[in-house]
Structure 1
Amino acid sequence: MTVEIPEPGVVVGADGSEHGIAALRWAAATAVAYGLPLTVLHARPDAIAEPTLLAEPDGVLGDAVAVARAEYPGLQTRALQMPDAPVQSLLAAGEEADIVVIGSRGIEGFRGLLLGSTTMHVAPYAQCPVVVVHSALEGGVLFEASDGYPGNPGQVVLGYDGSPAANRAAAFAFRHAEAIGCGVVAVTVEAGRGDPEAEPIDPENATPGSDTSAFHSPVIVTASSFPDVPVSFVAGYGRPAEVLLTQAISAELLVVGSRGSGGFAGLIMGSVSQKVLAHASCPVAVLHPGIPAETASGMA
């Protein structure tokens, strides 16, 4: 089912849960930063209904819209009631959206978001970036490095492994960093079984044609399109999820591709994504390689 909404902008799923409210607040703040409208979506399966923009929503949808309008009165906020199940509704809205935002665990149709079918079906297939505002923001267990590593406060952390999905993730990471006025920390990981380790590297000044220069060149090229965004590079060693979680402590956003190579393989379906989504101390954005580069970068 196609959703025809003039400039849907940032789309957020509303289900009445605490995690849904956390996602709503993040989505509203992001819409303001991006200069886009906010579309609040609530799924109420009904075979004979049509997608409907409601001028005076009530119930769960009305409550969510009221929160957004109270906190951001200047933001254009629309209420969209969808007649399909949550997965189908979010995917349909994502065909035209800039970003889809969902909470990690919910009630009603969004139940089981973290470990169940919604994440596995929305994140790998949505035609735009998907941001999961996870349980750590609403009483979950935050990841803490054993050595007290401070992470990258106030930065966007990019998990990069050279895969097509990671290249899409890079484009979105820079777009988001530009919008909120921060830098990007690009993290690569050599998979291993030891404790997480990381050190700064400088691929921009590496020998042209070297493995380091060639591997990071897509990120360097992307960074050149966002000259106001500072970028730094970190080379990590250890279990990929733990390295990323350590680097993402206190970050604004962790951005990853849906399917990667090496340590990031199986990111969406396997244990890496589950651990990242469950324990990262920040929201997590997931992009798959089929997302148009223009959509990821916001340069359409």
Structure 2
Amino acid sequence: MIDRPVVVGVDSSESAGHAVRWAAVDAALHGAELHLVFAVPPFVETPLDDSPVRLWHDEYRQTAEQALADAARAAAEFAAPHGDLEIRTFLVDAPPIPTLTSLAATARYVVVGSRGLGAYHRSLLGSVSTALTRHALGPVVVVPSVPVPDTTLPVVVGVDGSPYSTRAIEVAFDEASRRGAGLVAVHVWDRLGQSGSGSQERAEQVLADSLAHSRAEFPGVSVRSVVTEDRPVRTLLAESEAAQLVVVGSHGVGGFPGMTLGSTGEALLPVVACPIAIVRLRN
């Protein structure tokens, strides 16, 4: 198996600080490297550039270097109770969105705060987190601006029987196992059968079948099943209020080729009160 690092997008925002703390704990629990990445848009010198522009860029790089050093210290502190952690810092002369999108292809996760320095004060999601959840080449975790949740709280996973859901289940069981936490598996259905169920009995069977493999692989994880006739977002949001992590597939049974993010993930991202992992299929 490829040894995948946990990658964090760093800036000087409070939101990024929360992302660093969550990622440090997760990397320590997985025995993975933590890569802290501060991407600074490159300065392109032309005959029209004047010295104030260069000065601003140089000062911004110095701010980035300090932010990375501060992030590394915070990561080491938060990871210490959970295991050893190797931390590497990267100051990259490139725009943040394409940089992090590409790194997601080989990372365990790319972790970002819900809002960075460039987000409007009233914005619920920043441009970087929005772009990554839609276009990253691997799993993305978005961490809201709240203290890192207690690792004894349950992990919640959305289940709909799709291949993306299967991968989300695998990730959720792994996270719950490493954290010594329980798992809440949520499957909702409707009478028209649009969720792939159509009745309570059928929905319970879909959930049981979906969980069977991971239950056998992680027998120590306690599972609570939630099967209800409702909207997926409403049920997942309710369960997330007492959770440390929500895991959903990037697409569900209603997805289609070329779709970048399903409706459930899209709706949860701005409002969920704990970190949320958007899981994609990849080689």
TM-score by length of 1: 0.71
> Which residue does 2:143 correspond to in 1?
133
**Residues 1:189 and 1:223: Cα distance change in structure 2 (over 3 Å):** same
State the secondary structure of the residue aligned to 1:279. coil
> Which residue does 1:81 correspond to in 2?
91
Any idea what the Cα deviations from partners look like across 1:17-73, whole Å, max 9, x if unmatched?
11110111000111111111211111112278xxxxxxxx82222221222234446
CA distance in 2, matches of 1:17, 1:125: 23
Contact kept in structure 1, 2:34 and 2:88, CA below 8 Å: yes
CA distance in 2, matches of 1:236, 1:211: 8
Instruction: Kindly tell me the number of residue pairs found equivalent between the two proteins.
Output: 245
State the secondary structure of the residue aligned to 1:123. helix
State the secondary structure of the residue aligned to 1:218. helix
CA distance in 1, matches of 2:27, 2:268: 24
CA distance in 1, matches of 2:21, 2:165: 27
| Runs of 4+ more than 6 Å apart | 109-113
Structure 2 unaligned spans of 5+? 45-63, 192-199
Q: Which one of the candidate residues 3, 21, 45 is aligned to 1:25?
A: 21
| Alpha-carbon RMSD | 3.1
Q: Which one of the candidate residues 12, 31, 42 is aligned to 1:16?
A: 12
> Which residue does 2:71 correspond to in 1?
64
CA distance in 2, matches of 1:111, 1:268: 25
> Which residue does 1:150 correspond to in 2?
none
Q: CA deviation at 1:218?
A: 2.7
Q: Which one is further off, 214-223 or 170-179?
A: 214-223
> Which residue does 2:115 correspond to in 1?
105
Structure 1 unaligned spans of 5+? 1-5, 49-56, 139-152, 193-200, 293-300
Q: Does 1:268 align with 2:261?
A: yes
Any idea what the Cα deviations from partners look like across 1:181-204, whole Å, max 9, x if unmatched?
112111011259xxxxxxxx9xxx
Structure 2 counterpart of 1:102, one-letter code: V
Q: Which one of the candidate residues 273, 277, 280 is aligned to 1:285?
A: 277
> Which residue does 1:121 correspond to in 2?
131
CA distance in 2, matches of 1:90, 1:269: 21
CA distance in 2, matches of 1:267, 1:156: 24
Q: Which one is further off, 242-251 or 123-132?
A: 123-132
Structure number with larger C-alpha Rg: 2
CA distance in 2, matches of 1:108, 1:60: 16
TM-score by length of 2: 0.75
